[in-house]
Amino acid sequence: MRYLLFILSAIALLAFHTPAWADSQTDGATAPATTPEDDTGDTEDDTGEAKDDTGETEDDTGEDEDDTGETEDDTGETEDDTGETEDVLTTHPAPMPDEVPLVDAPKPSKSELRQRFITWKTNINAGWKLEKKHRVQDAPITNEFYVKRARFKLIAEPLDWLKGVIQVDAADALSRNFVKDAYIHLAPLRSLQLRVGQFKKPFSELRLTSSDKLRLIERGEGNEAIVKDLRYGDRDLGLLVSGRIVDDLKLDYSIGVFNGSGPNIGDPSNAKDIVARVDVTPFKRFKLGVNGSLKFIDDPKKDQGQPSFAHAWGGDISFRHDGLRLFAQVMWAQDHALYNLIANPKSDSPPELINAVANASYQHQFDTPLALAVEPAFQFEFLDPQLKIVDDTVFLYTAGLNTYIGRYVRVMLNARFVRTSRNTMPARHIDSEELELLLCLTL
């Protein structure tokens, strides 16, 4: 009996006694995690640069999208499977913290706050061009060095649904095109977003593609004639509504109202441009796009055959798989600037022009310590600047080779041949050969 009472007493003591290792925990509470620090009390390495989980220093830009919403490409940058340009901002609810921060926790400094949501990007292109034109016999060969772009872009994104962008180009410092982009983007919903300011109209996928994503130096003569000169696309001041309707198909829409007079030019008249575009990805790596632009003309010269409005339409298709990229685009437009040259001045419609372009490229990456890749590229373009009036078709052939050196440097070499059906007439397009070398630095 004595031994039985002893055993019962020991069990009772064990049942009602709380061990020392449990004193620091309570039901439903966890101890805050601590960050290992070195002797100085900071978490930086001996170079003074903050590191991510992999131990690599973070990218100096801190951004993964440019002004068009494009993700970075496969030269050491990330891009989605379709290679599409995406102009929607995804809004994500902020994650709930695991624990309430201490009241006496130090507040971040103003410089730390700015670094959190302000990023920047620099794009500098400088090159050399050799050109031979055949307008007249014994035409001299032009030989020049030039700066094509010297752009600096600042992106402020204090909230997931709010972004402001301003981009300037020092190469155009003495012209009205110094300011490239200046807009505010609001994204309260993925399906409904708003942009106001100066930016690219949603017309022509080739024009919407950022210059540092182009596989050839020039976008082509169709872009110059239809998108820029006739102002159916390019940058303008206006208001844009956009969003994604169907996630599985990546069905995106954009529709906007613009001044129609070009970048950095105000226009108080009621004659505005209405531009719209729809993109869809029905299959993986395969993308389709259609766009239209309607231009209203203020005070048209009807006695000379100028209409009160003109329009342009276009469509494009793109495919990419690993390093292979294929792209084709067609545009048709009314030339409202050539209304006085029309064959029938009493006609209600202005002259027409049509453009088609197709290009292909393949990038091969070498397994070297310094990221090195080469990419041959080819492009064919057809342009009829005065459809149904005169035979003045233009054919353009471009062959290029891109060399990627590391993450920030690209060397582009292009050979371009232009052939026209009416080389002798006074025209913008004449037979010519060009050799161009461009060095690109993107930070």
Q: Please give the Cα distance from 366 to 371 (Å, whole number).
A: 7
CB atoms within 10 A of CB 347: 12
Q: What percent of the chain has pLDDT over 70?
A: 66
Residue 41 has pLDDT above 60, yes or no: no
C-alpha pair distances (Å), 369 with each of 3, 39, 77, 372, 411: 77, 34, 16, 8, 19
Q: Residue 237: pLDDT band by 50, 70, 90 thresholds?
A: very high
Q: Give the up-direction half-sphere exposure of residue 426: CA atoms within 13 A in the CB hemisphere.
A: 0
At 420 the pLDDT is 87
Place of tokens 């106001």: 196
- Per residue in 376-403, pLDDT tens? 999 999 999 877 666 778 999 999 999 9
Using a 10 angstrom Cβ sphere, with 0-12 exposed, 13-18 middle and 19 or more buried, the burial of residue 14 is: exposed
Cβ(184)–Cβ(149) below 8 Å: no
Token code pair at residue 373: 């890749």
**Amino acid in position 389:** I
Map residue 43 onto helix, strand or coil. coil
Look over the chain and give the mean of its residue pLDDT values, rounded to a whole number. Answer: 78
- What's the predicted TM-score (pTM) here? 0.73
Superfamily of domain 125-148+198-442: Porin (2.40.160.10)
